[in-house]
Structure 1
Amino acid sequence: MKTLAVMSRKGGAGKTTVAVNLTLAARALGVRAVLADADPMRSAHEVLRGRDEAANLLVETSASKLFALTEASRRAGVELLVIDTPAAPEADVAEAVKVADLCLAVARPTYLDLAAAVLSVAVIQRLGREGLIVLNQCAPSRAGVEPPSVLKAFEALRFAHLPVAPTAMRARMVYQTAFAQGRSVLESDPQGAAAQEVRALFGQVWRRLNGERPAAMSSANDDLARARRGLILAPTA
């Protein structure tokens, strides 16, 4: 079993959006995936509680129960456990990081979000875990040109000493529309740009969970260079 912790030390970064969509992307591909909602806000539970398979898809838990949950999930044959982590306190965040094979530090391309991402990276590195930074709620590219805010975010993240996912998730209303229906964007608009982003990000995460280190994930410096050349652009709106 693989365990993925989706984290952000700042509210509003969209970690629940990432966690829910990646979990449902895994299940769409036949992976036995379960989402552990360890955030006291219970946002993932609010989105998924009305689904027919909610009992097998979603577990409400807390940081203190994560170790026991991972062991129980492994025995039950779960292939991927995704943890929607709390934003604070740091001790609870650390419990999620300890049980994770890979940690996703989710951040918007804003100054305060990037500062919070640095805090997430510090916890990941202190505990010796694998990590990946995911830029979320980025403005869509226009005519093949990345917005300055996204380029600046890649530039800032080169100091974080953690790889940055080559797929940036864009700010799209379909994410909220899908959540209102208890669905992922893959289900709400399977051919849309957001669905393409989620598929691409899940592929990158799944390969990394299974030990692959594609060149496209090498460093924030390399990602920035590709962004400037227009080679890592997600689908336009």
Structure 2
Amino acid sequence: MKIVFLIDQVYRHGGIERVLSIKANYLASNSKNSVYIITSEQNKNKACYHFNSNIIFKDLGVNYHRNLSYFHPKNVLKIPRHIRLVKQTLNKIKPDVVVVCSHSVDTYFVPFINKSIPKVKEFHFSKSIEVPYRKKGAKSKKKYFLYFADYVEKKYNKLIVLNKDEAKVLNIGIKKQKFKASELSEALDGLTPRQRTHLIAKMKESGFIRPLKESGRTYYVSFMNNFLMRSLIQVLEKENFIPPINQ
């Protein structure tokens, strides 16, 4: 299976980059997979996390001006080249699935190019931050952009979205590498102890976190056999790229 991950860069320390390294390393450890990470502004910098040597990196060198808005003319002028380079790269690789990781320009054009390839969009933030802009009577112009974003998101084959409490747990797990449920009380102060226990159990069942020892209460972040992996498989099955696994 050929899997392409699209992200702006992997040299800055951050949650998206850390999560990508975990997933990509796991997938690349299977000799049947070919994993590609396509960046738009790596600038020849060294990756900040360890990546399996089997992973193939390609930087497109678009290099947006990060100190300016993506809507600034200097960045808008770079978008056509970005689109062209992504199309050319996907045509060359011919991946079975494309996963858009970062929330940057490519989020909004990837569903409309190379349409025969299944596309998955990950959200590494809680969608709850959009609620104030979506309320009836909200005067912010951002709500109109969110309408456009809604249209774009419907064009993806699959959306991977965390709720805000799951995002908080993963953020803590990524930063600490290992953690106990008791360390979540401050971040999840809106939840009762019983609700926190239920959340941990749900995330264990989904495969987002695992105990270091069987039946232990110290956990680490894991993306093996989790919702993202199952979603990738579901997309490939739906598009008839692989036979249904349950048959």
Report the TM-score, using the length of structure 2 for normalisation: 0.46
Answer 1 or 2: which has greater helix percent: 1
Larger radius of gyration: 2
Report the TM-score, using the length of structure 1 for normalisation: 0.47
Which has the bigger relative contact order, CA under 8 A and spacing at least 6? Answer: 1
